Chains A and B, each alone.
Chain A
Amino acid sequence: MPDNTQPIINIDKVCKRFGDFNALKDVSLRISSGERIVVCGPSGSGKSTLIRCINGLERHDSGKILVDGIALDHSASSLSAVRSRVGMVFQQFNLFPHLTVIENLMLGPLKSRKLSREAARQLALNYLERVRIPEQADKYPRQLSGGQQQRVAIARSLCMEPGIMLFDEPTSALDPEMINEVLEVMAELAATGMTMICVTHEMGFARRVADTMVFMDHGEVVETASPEHFFTSPSSERCRDFLNKILQH
């Protein structure tokens, strides 16, 4: 288990409302460097909102979020400092359709990390190799399969060399036969010691990779436990219900 002394992410009593809807209610979570967290829960439970708050895509209403010592206060400087340390992979990939794969990967390193073209290119090729699609470098995203697109999206985030990676249901938009190639890349990434927070319903992946399971419902963290404990003897009724539903088939 990673040590718990100095959390790399500290979420303290965070609340977020959308109109009348309470998306997050006093959510607190401490995540250590190198820890792999899987967040699950029914839809509308606030899990996506929670990880979107971590890199400031959503603005939390109250509470504190500290990422690598930086307080997210939604000033431009704190946002850019946090975002350069935190990578994010989206359900819908969100690749830039007018750019080739390699250009997608090079944009961040060139513009926000100010690397030279040569260095950015080398970096991009390295990460394409890591996600096992170096031969697709000059294609456009729409020429790739969903699984390949999601791997490109992972590589694009990694090109920023973040210490923390957020995954927002990365396999939910994929055809079943492509899910494994993406999970494989994520598992390899986990093995490198990357701090990862994944919102996913892939319980096999969670069991294999997670250090900590977080179960959310109605905007609250209901349960935080190790995978063994979580899958065999969850302490809350809601969590048992949820697991029964998704593990049935």
Chain B
Amino acid sequence: MKAFLLIASLSLALSGCSANWGWYVVNPATDTGLSNLKFLFGGLYYTLLLSVTAIGISVTIGLLIALPGLSHNRYFRGINRTYVEIVRAVPILVLILWVYYGLPQIANLSITVFWAGVIALALSDSAFEAEIFRAGIQSIDKGQYEAAHSISLSYTDMMRHVILPQAIRRILPALGNQLVYMLKMSSLVSVIGMQELTRRANELVVTEYRPLEIYTILVLEYLVVILLVSAGVRWLEHRMQSDQRQ
């Protein structure tokens, strides 16, 4: 929470040190200011929806890609490597453009801005999720597999009830990082017209000509959201570990 105070005092100090600031554009006391603020904050809904949907999908794909990577069969491992290497090599912005403008042409379908953004973000992140899952699962002691085998659990039951619950506890900090990363990368979806935080700020800058104030608000918006998410992840981590410790 120190960070909040720091930022708040920093922006106050900044606003004091020059006459170039014009906070009137977002002054909630005036009608225009208030409606401008509402417009900016309105983007939060899509930023969150986009990021959460994308992370849900990317965790699922990541897990499905991680599992063959742990196989003894080298063709399965090859599938994992190929996917990770290819997807990791494509810049997110490029993927967003390709999914929105390119994919509808080859797949002959219409795709909304929202789903184009979700697909691009999820695909791009899934390669990283796959690597995180693989590392997490590999860190589980061999004895846990042997114990699961010895009570005759099927592969699915073993993964679901023995290996993954332990692996997920270990990779939670890394998954939290990915969520933060996703929230930040969702700003790129503004280029195809998604009405999230960044897009709204851009549009307002064009009409109000006040980039400094509006982008400062934008910075603060991301900061608050991400600090809250980080705190939430830490809380969850703490709770899951206290299950086991005493």
- Interface, chain A (partner B; CB < 8 A): 55-57, 79-80, 83-84, 86-88, 90, 92, 94-99, 107-108, 111-112, 140, 142-143, 153, 156-157, 159-160
- Pick the residue among B141, B144, B157, B243 that contacts A112 (CB under 8 A): B157
Contact B152–A143 (Cβ < 8 Å): no
CB-CB < 8 A to B152: which residues of A? 80, 83-84, 108, 112, 160
Contact A97–B146 (Cβ < 8 Å): no
Q: In the assembled complex, how far is the CB of residue B150 from the closest CB belonging to chain A, in whole angstroms?
A: 4
Whether a CB of chain A sits under 8 angstroms from the CB of B154 is yes
Q: A90-B146, A94-B146, A96-B147 are in contact. Are A112 and B245 (CB under 8 A)?
A: no
- Of B141, B150, B244, the most chain A CB neighbours within 10 A belong to B150
Whether a CB of chain A sits under 8 angstroms from the CB of B38 is no
CB-CB < 8 A to A84: which residues of B? 152
- Bound Cα distance from A98 to B243, whole angstroms: 7
- Pick the residue among A88, A111, A142, A143 that contacts B150 (CB under 8 A): A88
Q: A84-B152, A108-B152 are in contact. Are A94 and B147 (CB under 8 A)?
A: yes
Whether a CB of chain A sits under 8 angstroms from the CB of B86 is no
Interchain residue pairs with CB less than 8 A apart (15) = A56-B149, A57-B149, A83-B152, A86-B150, A87-B151, A97-B244, A98-B169, A108-B152, A111-B161, A112-B153, A112-B154, A140-B246, A142-B245, A142-B246, A160-B152
CB-CB < 8 A to B244: which residues of A? 97-98, 140, 142
Query: Interface SS of chain B: helix, strand, loop or mixed?
Result: helix
Q: How large is the interface on B (under 10, 10 to 19, 20 to 34, 35 or more residues)?
A: 20 to 34
Contact A83–B246 (Cβ < 8 Å): no
- Bound Cα distance from A160 to B148, whole angstroms: 12
Which residue on chain B has the smallest CB distance to residue A56? B149
Q: In the assembled complex, how far is the CB of residue B142 from the closest CB belonging to chain A, in whole angstroms?
A: 9
Contact B147–A140 (Cβ < 8 Å): no
Whether a CB of chain A sits under 8 angstroms from the CB of B48 is no
CB-CB < 8 A to A157: which residues of B? 150-151
- B:117-150 near A, CB below 8 Å: 141, 143-144, 146-147, 149-150
- Of A87, A94, A160, the most chain B CB neighbours within 10 A belong to A94
Q: In the assembled complex, how far is the CB of residue B171 from the closest CB belonging to chain A, in whole angstroms?
A: 14
Q: Mark B164-177, 1 if CB is under 8 A from A, else 0.
A: 01100100000000
Contact B143–A94 (Cβ < 8 Å): yes
CB-CB < 8 A to B154: which residues of A? 80, 111-112
- Bound Cα distance from A94 to B149, whole angstroms: 11
Contact A112–B151 (Cβ < 8 Å): yes
- Bound Cα distance from A83 to B162, whole angstroms: 17
Q: In the assembled complex, how far is the CB of residue B146 from the closest CB belonging to chain A, in whole angstroms?
A: 5
Contact A96–B157 (Cβ < 8 Å): no
Which residue on chain A has the smallest CB distance to residue B147? A94
- Bound Cα distance from A87 to B146, whole angstroms: 11
- Bound Cα distance from A157 to B146, whole angstroms: 12
Contact A95–B153 (Cβ < 8 Å): no
- Bound Cα distance from A80 to B244, whole angstroms: 30
Contact B149–A83 (Cβ < 8 Å): yes
CB-CB < 8 A to A92: which residues of B? 143
Contact B162–A96 (Cβ < 8 Å): yes
CB-CB < 8 A to B151: which residues of A? 83, 87, 107-108, 112, 156-157, 159-160
Contact A108–B143 (Cβ < 8 Å): no
- Pick the residue among A57, A80, A98 that contacts B166 (CB under 8 A): A98
Which residue on chain A has the smallest CB distance to residue B165? A98
